[in-house]
Copies of this chain bind each other. A is one copy, B any other.
């Protein structure tokens, strides 16, 4: 009962992930997901009663992938600047592995913000400790002072945006050359770290 069931469910999840990420909730077709999973539509509805059901399941998994746990890094006992570097490394590793997540998540969240809000609630995520780590570093004079929210958003912007805007950047900056674009994205890890560090270290 289980060997087959789990197998099929996994096939559906994988297929749905691929189709939803590529086409979004509005653009995805249940038939296409069924085809991709190598089953038929009836069985698809047998496992997940509705498209919305299936989408919710996928979206939760995708968000879990896209927001890796960086608490260990942020709350560890290393200097703040090292935490920033490590967080950027971690994020960009995820993004290099799943470059289409940013565009997908931004699209769906702008379609229906409650999707994300419900997940945050479900995960019990609280940004306050993160913001406190940042402002503590400022209090200790390790970095320049600014609203911690801005520093957090700056780091995320520099990391995520190039992936979300990939088609634009590829065409405008690299004349559509996908290879050059990949090189560019691979360089981001180093670039973002250097850029952020220069921006926040106290110069003397």
| A interface list, Cβ under 8 A from B | 24, 26-27, 103, 106-107, 109-111, 113, 116-117, 120, 125, 127, 131, 144, 146-147, 149-150, 152-154, 156-158, 160-162, 164-169, 171-174, 176, 184, 187-188, 191-192, 194-196, 198-200, 203
Known contacts A110-B167, A157-B157, A167-B110; A117/B149 CB under 8 A: no
Asked if A172 and B26 make an inter-chain contact with CB atoms under 8 angstroms apart, the answer reads: no
A-B contact pairs, 9 of them (CB 8 A): A106-B107, A106-B164, A109-B167, A116-B167, A146-B191, A150-B188, A150-B191, A160-B165, A196-B199
Main SS class of interface, A: helix
Asked if B164 and A154 make an inter-chain contact with CB atoms under 8 angstroms apart, the answer reads: no
Q: How far is the CA of A153 from the CA of B191 in the complex (A)?
A: 11
List of B residues within 8 angstroms of A200 by Cβ? 198
Instruction: Give the residue among A26, A117, A164 with the most B Cβ atoms within 10 A.
Output: A164
Selected contact of A171 from candidates B26, B120, B167, B203, CB within 8 Å: B120
List of B residues within 8 angstroms of A117 by Cβ? 171, 176
Asked if A113 and B171 make an inter-chain contact with CB atoms under 8 angstroms apart, the answer reads: yes
Asked if A106 and B109 make an inter-chain contact with CB atoms under 8 angstroms apart, the answer reads: no
Selected contact of A157 from candidates B109, B131, B158, CB within 8 Å: B158
Q: How far is the CA of A131 from the CA of B175 in the complex (A)?
A: 13
Selected contact of A173 from candidates B149, B188, B198, CB within 8 Å: B149
Q: How far is the CA of A172 from the CA of B176 in the complex (A)?
A: 35
Q: How far is the CA of A114 from the CA of B20 in the complex (A)?
A: 20
Query: Chain B nearest CB: distance from A75 CB in Å?
Result: 18
Query: Chain B nearest CB: distance from A100 CB in Å?
Result: 8
